[in-house]
Every structure is written in structure tokens, then in C-alpha cells.
């Protein structure tokens, strides 16, 4: 018997991010899932606003530095501030959000210290990753990480393995939203005609081995010997070098095509440059959920116990075989 046309249309109808979150909420059957879906929706709403500001930044004077240095010791770009304010404004209004942490703020922001039951979440984010690329039209993105918070534990930081949602948004020819709720990784593309993120294809799976590496080779001479040996082996094996200077863009390529992204310890940044809580942890969990691996070079990123909001760690993530090969090179040093 032929399948009715109405059923075919339902099966093939594009799934919006909102419908995806509602389906996950129904499957979880909990008040916490309802709050979580609203929080992810708030992130998506804020990133639509960020995408809109990026499209006109060169016309409305939003490019360039604002003359201030953030807690990282980095020059704040005007759009760093705008993106941060958009995310905070959206997230502060959502039930269940009790604490926020941003790259652009010195300390955690406690939103609501009152006991609101089991639906309590911390949202940590890098509002505009790669913002130094803005003046030259390069790639930028937003990274977010969400944890459930116990009553009275607003100021406590948790290891990455406790995340309940994580994702990133890549702003480019398309605005791409990639996320995990702990059951695989899905990609959504913003349809500007309707203003919705629409699911693109099947859940993402990273190849077991790639053919490219992503690292700032300008720092090669100050990398530990194991990283230098590994990179020499990659070049000898015919790997290509791909580096955009924004973690979101570089990891997105690795997620889709395989390979490895690295930010090793350097002479200037002996503990690594990337931040554990809102860069390494969410990206590491996404890669693991897609079948890859995420390492500090000495162990799993998601097992690192955080000591501070802006703690830095070395990062290596991507195809499982490539990350394993790096770990072996480091162990042999």
C-alpha cells in the first residue's frame, strides 16, 4: 500500500530547533527538561541578535576595540560587549537560570539565589569567540555550556562530564547552531526567511581519522617536544594545515571532516590559552558525543576539576585515532 502523502510530508518537513527541543522535553518528561529547553531557546534567540549585529557591524560603527581590557588581559571589541549583553539579557529572563559565567565578566553572575526547586541551571559562555577576526571579516562564533546546579551551590564549578547541554554557533555564510543534550550532536542552520534554526541532516559523527590538523604553527618553536614530533609525523603523512584563528570555526571543520584541533602549552601560555569552563569543556563534550576524543594531552578534558571560572587548559580534540596518536607522542617524550 502506498504511503499517504500527508504522512510523507510530516516525515520530510524540516524540524526547527524549537520542535527538536520540545521533542526532547517530552521524551525526558521532567520539569527540569522544560526549563532546559527554554534556556537553550534563549541562547538561540540571543545568537540571532548577534548574527544580525554582525551583518551590519561595518555600517553602524560596531567594529573595533572599545579601549578596555577584559579579565583575560585581552582588548575588548565593541561586538564582544554587545554579544555579552545580548546573552545576559536573554538568559536572565529565563526561569531556572540561577548563575551565569562569561569570558567578559570577572566573576560569576548570580541571577536568582531563591530556591526554585529542581530546575536550576548555570550557563557559561564565550559570547564572541575569535573576535580579533572581526576587522578582517574572519570567522567568529559563540560557545555555551549548561550545568544543573544543586540548591545553595551557585558558586560551585563542576567538571565537564556533568554538563547537560553544550553547543556553539558559527557566524559565516550561514549561521550554524550545533548542540548536544547528551544523546549525540545535531546541527541547525538559520533560515533567514522565517527566522528559525532548522535541523540539517542526521546527527553528526566525526571520522575516526582525518587528514588535517588545526594549530597556530607560529608558536611551533615553543611547543613541547611531543607536540613538535606529532606535527612532524602529520606533515610526513600528508596532513594539511587548516587554521582560522577562531576555535568555533576550526572545531567545526574538524567535526565535519575529521582531524585534530590543538592549542598546546606555549612559552607565553604554559597552562594553555583556552578556557576550561566555556571553551574546552563544551567543545570537548560535543566532540565526544560525535564519536571523537578530547584531551589535555595528559587525560580527558571532561575529568579536569575546575579551580576558577577562567582557568586555562591545553586542548587537543578531534578524530579519536588522531588524538590517541598525539597522546602517544606526548607520552614518549
What residue ranges define each of the domains in the chain, with the CATH number in brackets? 15-199 (3.30.540.10), 212-331 (3.40.190.80)
Neighbours of 238 (CB within 10 A): 8
Per-residue pLDDT 10s for the chain (333 aa) are 444 443 433 345 689 999 999 999 898 877 778 899 999 999 999 999 999 999 887 777 666 665 566 666 666 788 999 999 999 999 998 989 999 999 999 999 999 755 555 679 999 999 999 988 888 888 999 999 999 998 888 889 999 999 999 999 999 999 999 999 999 999 999 999 999 999 999 999 999 999 999 999 999 999 999 999 999 999 999 999 999 999 999 999 999 999 999 999 999 999 999 999 999 999 999 999 999 999 999 999 999 999 999 999 999 999 999 999 999 999 997
- Residue 31: half-sphere exposure toward Cβ, Cα within 13 Å: 7
CB of 223 closer than 8 Å to CB of 264: yes
Output the pLDDT for position 138. 87
CB of 130 closer than 8 Å to CB of 273: no
As given in the structure block, the three cell numbers for residue 329 are 607522542
Strand order in the sheet with 121-129: 109-110, 97-102, 121-129, 140-148, 163-171, 175-180, 185-191, 196-199
Rounded CA gap, 264 and 18, in Å? Answer: 37
H or E element, residue 97 = strand 97-102
Beta bridge partners of 177: 169, 188
Amino acid at each position: 500500500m502506498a504511503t499517504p502523502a500527508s504522512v510523507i510530508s510530516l516525515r520530510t518537513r524540516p524540524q526547527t530547533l524549537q520542535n527538536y527541543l520540545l521533542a526532547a522535553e517530552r521524551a525526558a518528561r521532567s520539569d527540569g527538561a522544560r526549563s532546559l529547553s527554554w534556556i537553550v531557546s534563549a541562547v538561540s534567540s540571543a545568537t540571532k541578535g548577534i548574527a544580525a549585529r554582525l551583518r551590519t557591524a561595518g555600517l553602524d560603527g560596531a567594529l573595533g576595540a572599545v579601549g578596555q581590557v577584559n579579565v583575560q588581559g585581552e582588548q575588548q571589541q565593541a561586538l564582544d560587549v554587545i554579544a555579552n549583553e545580548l546573552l545576559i539579557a536573554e538568559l536572565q529572563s529565563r526561569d531556572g537560570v540561577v548563575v551565569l559565567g562569561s569570558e567578559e565578566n570577572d566573576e560569576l553572575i548570580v541571577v536568582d539565589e531563591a530556591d526554585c526547586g529542581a530546575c536550576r541551571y548555570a550557563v557559561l559562555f564565550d559570547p564572541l569567540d575569535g573576535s580579533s577576526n572581526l576587522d578582517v571579516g574572519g570567522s567568529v562564533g559563540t560557545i555555551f555550556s549548561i550545568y544543573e546546579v544543586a540548591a545553595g551551590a551557585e558558586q560551585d564549578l563542576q567538571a565537564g562530564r556533568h554538563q547537560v547541554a553544550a553547543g556553539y554557533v558559527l557566524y559565516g555564510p550561514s549561521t550554524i547552531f550545533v548542540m548536544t543534550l547528551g544523546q549525540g550532536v545535531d546541527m541547525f542552520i538559520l533560515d533567514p526567511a522565517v527566522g528559525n534554526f532548522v535541523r540539517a541532516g542526521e546527527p553528526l559523527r566525526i571520522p575516526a581519522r582525518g587528514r588535517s590538523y588545526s594549530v597556530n604553527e607560529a608558536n611551533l618553536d615553543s611547543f613541547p617536544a611531543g607536540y613538535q614530533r606529532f606535527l612532524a609525523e602529520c606533515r610526513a603523512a600528508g596532513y594539511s594545515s587548516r587554521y582560522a584563528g577562531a576555535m568555533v570555526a576550526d572545531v567545526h571543520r574538524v567535526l565535519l571532516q575529521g582531524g585534530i584541533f590543538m592549542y598546546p602549552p606555549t612559552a607565553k601560555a604554559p597552562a594553555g590559552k583556552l578556557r576550561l569552563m566555556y571553551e574546552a569543556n563544551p567543545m570537548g563534550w560535543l566532540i565526544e558525543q560525535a564519536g571523537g576524543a578530547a584531551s589535555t594531552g595528559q587525560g580527558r578534558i571532561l575529568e579536569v576539576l575546575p579551580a576558577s571560572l577562567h582557568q586555562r587548559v591545553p586542548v587537543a580534540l578531534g578524530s579519536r585515532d588522531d588524538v590517541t596518536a598525539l597522546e602517544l607522542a606526548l607520552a614518549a617524550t
